[in-house]
Amino acid sequence: MTDNLRIWLSNPLAIYTGNDEDASGGIVVSGKAIVELVAKGETPVNIDQTIDVSDQVLIPGLINTHHHFYQTLTRALPAALNKELFPWLQTLYPVWANLDPEIHRAATKLALAELLLSGCTTASDHHYLFPANLTDAIDHQIEIGREMGVRMAMTRGSMSLGQDQGGLPPNTVVQTEDEILQDSERLVSRYHDREPYSMSQIALAPCSPFSVTTELMRDTASLAKQLNVRLHTHLAETIDEENFCERSFGMRTVDYLESVGWLSSNTWLAHGIHFNDEEIARLGKAGVGVCHCPSSNMMLASGIAKVKELEAAGSPVGLGVDGSASNDCSNMIQEVRQAMYIQRLRYGSSAVTHFDAYRWGTKGSAQVLGRDDIGELAVGKAADLALFKLDEPRFSGAHDPLAALLLCGAHRAEAVMVNGEWRVKAGELVGQDIERIMHEHKEAANTLAARAIS
């Protein structure tokens, strides 16, 4: 516990604050917050503890704005390899339908452990699969998030359009609209904390246009407005999805989004790849956020999001690892690197810097989640931070530490603090047995795969 001790993280090797303030001398943390930025050569007063980080790179805690924790159970599953999104989903839905509480808990623990170890301090999960024996899935996730000390931005996903109604998912994993809306209201009432430095918030998140009814989209928007919470969904991930919307609704995805009352600054979208210029302008004017998922988009060959146009139009842009069956890892610092590289492929190497990528993974992601208390190192912001050492062979000879962190491929943080509490020290989870977490997760993955075969 840091309590209200004044802790100086002194003289980092390099620092990215996410703003223009000089903090080359480090930062001072007290309680849950950052209370002082230290300029180069200065020494803060009334310090209770000094931690020398002169051999480490200091950045704000990374923020993951789209994930599917349960998909860690189906990484590199042979039946799902080498497929585009729709056939990939159709292969995996019957496997995921066999989820149960114990298996789901194991997946959540593993995903959160992996995220923490990669410098992630805030995790948003989009859980939309609720078999009959897993109706309290998000309750499990909030409980485990609290145990592990991760800031949680949970989205109550849903699927209501089964195959017999023209949707993609099998009927065994869909719920009725009443079930979905009632549970959404319950979760917001129980877990949505609106206070500064909140550790758990809830958004409402029908899965996608091809897995929910139009009525559910409209009614969820109304409920979110009533409860004053945010909205989230997958949109414009693939051309197949565009074709589905035009065939089913007679309109493109952004027109559909507007028709159901979702075109607002309370909405953020996963992927957002296949928007034309006019649609980007509308999204930006409305302030709709977009979570860019570079690794998943490459793995499924979905396309490359137009992040610079989206930002220029007024849409906040953040990052997400997406599901760990379409990535197939939950590593946020690697995702920041992937974002930089794939966007250079679109715009050119001189048009996308490592600072752009850091922004997407920190302050941009905070804006996507509608939060102004996280995402940068500044006085009054939450004490969420990650420290990385450059002591591996991959970094040898590197001249610019901040650039090297991404260019040379950092993958594991030395230390991670969330809300003023150390959750990773010396590259290891604090108070968690990673070997046990991995053992239980592997057993759960094998069980799930065996159920699919039987």
Tens place of pLDDT per residue across the chain (454 aa) = 457 899 999 999 999 999 999 999 999 999 999 999 999 999 999 999 999 999 999 999 999 999 999 999 999 999 999 999 989 999 999 999 999 999 999 999 999 999 999 999 999 999 999 988 899 999 999 999 999 999 999 999 999 988 888 888 888 889 999 999 999 999 999 999 999 999 999 999 999 988 999 999 999 999 999 999 999 999 999 998 899 999 999 999 999 999 999 999 999 999 999 999 999 999 999 999 999 999 999 999 999 999 999 999 999 999 999 998 889 999 999 999 999 999 999 999 999 999 999 999 999 999 999 999 999 999 999 999 999 999 999 999 999 999 999 999 999 999 999 999 999 999 999 999 999 999 999 999 999 999 988 6
- Would the CA dihedral through 233, 238, 239, 243 be positive or negative? negative
Residues 11 and 112 in one domain: no
Q: Residue length, the chain? A: 454
CB 276 within 8 Å of CB 296: no
Asked if residue 443 belongs to a domain, the reply is no
CATH number at residue 418: 2.30.40.10
CB 307 within 8 Å of CB 317: yes
CB 416 within 8 Å of CB 121: yes
Residue 22 belongs to domain spanning: 7-60+377-428
Residues 386 and 262 in one domain: no
Asked if residue 18 belongs to a domain, the reply is yes
Residues 310 and 409 in one domain: no
Residues 93 and 214 in one domain: yes
CATH number at residue 283: 3.20.20.140
Residues 118 and 192 in one domain: yes
Asked if residue 437 belongs to a domain, the reply is no
Distance CA 204, CA 362 (A): 22
Residue with tokens 């290891």: 428
Residue with tokens 């989230």: 232
Strand order in the sheet with 385-389: 14-15, 56-60, 385-389, 415-418, 421-425, 428-429
Residues 49 and 67 in one domain: no
Residues 29 and 154 in one domain: no
Residues 131 and 280 in one domain: yes
CB 191 within 8 Å of CB 229: no
Q: 124's torsion region: left (phi>0), alpha (psi -120 to 50) or beta?
A: beta
Angle between the N-to-C axes of helices 137-148 and 101-117, in degrees from 0 to 180, rounded to the nearest 10: 40
Return the closest-CA partner of residue 108 out of 70, 147, 77, 156. 70
Residues 232 and 132 in one domain: yes
Angle between the N-to-C axes of helices 239-249 and 85-96, in degrees from 0 to 180, rounded to the nearest 10: 80
Residues 280 and 295 in one domain: yes
How many other β-carbons are positioned within 10 Å of the β-carbon of residue 252?
Answer: 18
